[in-house]
Structures are given as C-alpha cells and as structure tokens.
C-alpha cells in the first residue's frame, strides 16, 4: 500500500523530518512512522496454509534418485503436479502427485534423458500456495 501526505520530503534520508501542527499551533518535528492496526480478521482465509517444511526432498544432494515426500493432510496436494526446473527457469519434467505421500524422480527429463549435474528447483503449486525446494544433482 502507498500512503501519501501533503509534505515536502521524500524520506530518502534518515534525517528527513516532517512538521505537524498540533491543535495548540505548536510545530512538532518527527521522523516518519507508520503504524498499521488490524481490527478484524475477516481477511484471513479459513483454509490452513502449510509452509514449505511440509515437503521434504532427500537425499540432497542426490546422484541417482531423489525422493520427494509430503507431510500434509490427506488430499491437500491431491491431483497437483510437481514440476522440476533448471536454474534457467526451463521446465525439465512434470510428475503427477496423485494421492501419494511420496514420489521419486529418477533424474531424467521429460524425454527420458538423464539431466546434467547442477541445481534444480522442485515446484508444487496448489491454488495460491507454491512450494519450492532447491536440489543439487551430482
């Protein structure tokens, strides 16, 4: 969010001050402070959001087979796809998660070729939640 005040400072320096007049016409110099108060929790979604710690990859680094396990409630990642990207952002492979709590990646791309050694990103998307893990293939 952006809040605009009719003042003559850009606040790009810690010493920048603002002048405010009080009801008794005294001028008060202050550094900018913004407080945000939440008076309602209506913006919180009822659905529990799980963090990236519910997805584990091992061994990391790996050389032959990578195991990806999910410690999420049954059905939370159901029918979602797992995508593997290289560091250039190119999609290497998609794997179906289905109802499994664990899947394995054999280190092959979508054409069946073994991928080169290097850093890869494991990405799982569910609604507006993305799980991303870095893995190293040796």
Fold annotation for 52-137: Immunoglobulin-like (2.60.40)
pLDDT at position 137: 95
Give the count of alpha carbons within 13 A of 79, CB side only.
1
User: Could you tell me the residue ranges of all domains in the chain?
Assistant: 52-137
Give mean pLDDT, residues 55-61.
89
| CB 85 within 8 Å of CB 40 | no
84 SS3 class: strand
- The answer to whether the pTM exceeds 0.85 is no
**Averaged pLDDT score across all residues of the chain:** 71
- 21 strand-pairing partners: 27
Rounded CA-CA distance 115/112 in Å is 9
Nearest partner of 83 among 110, 118, 53, judged by Cα: 110
Tens of pLDDT, residues 28-42 = 555 545 444 445 444
Secondary structure, 3-state, 84-95: EEECCCCEEEEE
Lowest mean pLDDT among 35-39, 42-46, 95-99: 42-46
The larger pLDDT score, comparing residue 50 to residue 100, is at 100
């Amino acid at each position: 969010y952006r809040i605009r005040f009719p003042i003559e400072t850009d606040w790009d320096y810690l010493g920048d001050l603002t002048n405010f007049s009080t009801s008794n016409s005294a001028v008060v110099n202050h550094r900018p402070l913004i407080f945000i108060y939440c008076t309602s929790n209506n913006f919180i979604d009822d659905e529990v959001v799980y963090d990236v710690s519910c997805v584990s990859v091992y061994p990391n680094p790996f050389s032959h087979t990578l195991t990806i396990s999910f410690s999420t409630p049954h059905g939370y990642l159901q029918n979602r796809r797992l995508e593997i990207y290289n560091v250039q952002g190119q999609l290497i492979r998609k794997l179906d998660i289905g109802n499994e709590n664990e899947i394995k990646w054999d280190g092959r791309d979508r054409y069946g070729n073994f991928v080169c050694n290097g850093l890869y990103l494991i990405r799982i998307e569910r609604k507006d939640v993305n799980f991303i893990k870095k893995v190293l293939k040796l």
